[in-house]
Each structure stands twice: as structure tokens, then as C-alpha cells.
Amino acid sequence: MPLIAILAGDGIGPEVTAQARRVLDALGLDFSYQEALVGGVAYHQLGHPLPPATLELAKRSDAILFGAVGDPSCDGLERSLRPEQAILGLRKELGLFANLRPATLFKGLEDASALRPEVASAIDLVIVRETNGDVYFGDKGIRTTAAGRREGYDIMSYDEDEVTRIARVGFETARTRQRRLCSIDKANVLETSQLWRDVVIALSADYPDVELTHMYVDNAAMQLVRNPGQFDVIVTGNLFGDILSDQASMCAGSIGMLPSATLNGSGQGLYEPIHGSAPDIAGQGKANPCAAILSAAMMLRHSLGMPEAADRIEAAVAAAILGGARTPDLGGTLSTAAMGDAVLAQIG
């Protein structure tokens, strides 16, 4: 029986994860679940955002269903103890380097999209974001300059093997879709991006059936809004992918609609909504659980070998949305649990 580690985390994480769990339970399949603390709540109760028992559970699980981390009460802590270090630590410790972030506008959500109506329905893309390198993991600190001023630094780096393995995920993902891959970088300014581009071009020889294009990240941010239909699969680094996927989420109606899968190539994966802990609405039943529910669907497809069950969940979310179910982020009034009910009512 597959073991699912439930790491609900902070803020709205437990609320949305609970709805994903209800939907999984309704499928009538056999899973075993184990829960552990992560993020700010883990720091407060156990002294570390990623306690050893949580990491140990994550390592032996078949898949991790993750909520969100982030807690304003931890703002003054040194960086290694901040809640966000839990998700970075899990990605590094488990080698989870490929973060797939699909952004699609569900039918019925056209009004919620931040895009102009004539282009809104065209958004249907996957962002493949690298999550083991870049400025998130490079040497960093605050030092004193010769002039006596404090200077912060975060080193951006990728080696060619790291670029090759994420680019390969990009090409392979494109092969499951429309065979168009756009690699996003800042190669006109950054050395890291020049290497990135060279490596992606070299790898493209293995994928003659995939159309490869390149775009600077600033242009990509603009093109995403101007003409989202030009994108099929985007492959990019950790920082650019983090930013562009939040932007893409508003094109798809709400950050509450975007799920993600982070994979390490072994079959194991971590599944989480792309949104954070949203402390401003935590505990109020206002959060949209769709991204968490859709993350559970990605888990069934990518880690648990249950694509039909994944299809059932995705179809149920689509039907609930088409039927008018809306949480406040989508302009509606449903509570988190009521949105979960609306999805459950559609599970066939």
C-alpha cells in the first residue's frame, strides 16, 4: 500500500491539505498516510522547520503531500531556522530538482483571469522550474565592504549537468504535449544564463521532434500576459520559475488554482499548491483548496501510477468550477470546506 507523507505546514496549509485528503479518501483506493510537522509550526514545537523525524518520513514515503510553509512570527529568525528552509531542505535532501507547474484556465473561470478576455482561454502551459540550484542554494551572506557598508550577496550558479537534467525534463514534458519548448533565461546579461542556453541548445540534438525557442525572462513576463497561447512548455531556473509561475497563476484565475509536482527521477515526488501559507486568511475557511486537490491528482499520476484516479480528480475540479463553485479568490463566497464538498460531489 503506498505511503503518503502529509506535511501540511503553516497557515492555510492544513486547511487545503485536509480537503485534498478528503478527495483522496473518496476515491476508494488504499493508501496509508502519516503526518509530520514542517515549517513554522515545526520550529515552534520542535525547534527546527525540518525536524529529523519529518525528513525521515519524507525519505521513506512514496509521495509527499505538502501544504505550505511561512510564518510571520519567524521573520526575525536566522535564515536556517526560517520555515521556508523546510521546503528548500526537502528539495535538496531528496534531490527533488524538477518542479512541474501546470497553468491552465478552467472553463468558467474566464472572468477571474487577469488576462484580456480575448487571450484568456489560450493559457495552457507547463512551467518546468529547476529547484536544486540557482541563487536559492548558492553561497550567500552579508559582508562588510572595504568602505564599511553592509553588502548582501547570493551567488547564482548552475553547472552543465544540472542544466542538462532539467532541460531533459522540459523536452520530455514537451513530448507529452504540443512538442514546443521555450527556454527562459537572461543570457544577454548573466553568465549562468549563457551556459544554460548553450547546454539547452546542445541537448536539443536529442529532441529533433521538439521545437525549441529561447526568451529573455523580462520579455517572457510580458509575453505571458500579451500572448499566453504561444507557450506550451517553459523550462527555466529556480528564481525565474518561481516568479513566472506566480504570474501565470493569475492568468489562470488565481494562485489558488495552481498545483505542482517536484520530482527527482526515482518516481518519488513532493506535491504542493504553488501558493504559500497566506497568514492573512489562515484559519478563516477562505482558502481555495483546488490547487492542493489538483496536487493530489498530480501525485496519483506521477508517483503512484494511478493516472485514471488522477483524471477523476481533475474532471471533478473542472466540473465543480464549471458548475459555479467559487471561493473568494475566484469572486465567490464558498468556504474551503464547501469548495471541497463541491469537488467531492463530482467524484465519479
Tally of CB atoms within 10 A around 194: 14
Q: Which member of 89, 133, 253, 273 binds ligand GGG (CB under 6 A)? A: 273
The reply to whether 218 belongs to the active site is yes
The reply to whether 207 belongs to the active site is no
> Could you say whether residue 62 binds ligand GGG (CB under 6 A)?
no
Using alpha carbons, list the distances in angstroms from residue 240 to 193, 216, 236.
11, 10, 6
The reply to whether 242 belongs to the active site is yes
Using alpha carbons, list the distances in angstroms from residue 344 to 6, 331, 334, 348.
20, 21, 14, 9
d(CA 18, CA 6): 10
Build a one-symbol-per-residue string for 80-119: x at contacts with ligand GGG by CB under 6 A, - elsewhere: ----x--x--------------------------------
β-strand partners of 262: 99, 270
How many residues make contact with ligand GGG (CB under 6 A)? 11
The reply to whether 206 belongs to the active site is no
Residue type, 310: A
> Could you say whether residue 228 binds ligand GGG (CB under 6 A)?
no
The reply to whether 232 belongs to the active site is no
Q: Which member of 15, 130, 272, 314 binds ligand GGG (CB under 6 A)? A: 272
Residue type, 194: Q
Using alpha carbons, list the distances in angstroms from residue 346 to 308, 315, 320.
15, 8, 7
Annotated binding residue 75? no
334: left (phi over 0), alpha (psi -120 to 50) or beta: beta
> Could you say whether residue 232 binds ligand GGG (CB under 6 A)?
no
Question: Which is catalytic among the residues 124, 246, 311, 341?
Answer: 246
Residues annotated as binding site? 91, 101, 129, 218, 242, 246, 276-288
**Active-site residue set:** 136, 186, 218, 242, 246
Residues of the shown chain interacting with ligand GGG in the complex, contacts defined by CB under 6 A: 68-70, 84, 87, 242, 272-276
Residues annotated as binding site for Mg(2+)? 218, 242, 246
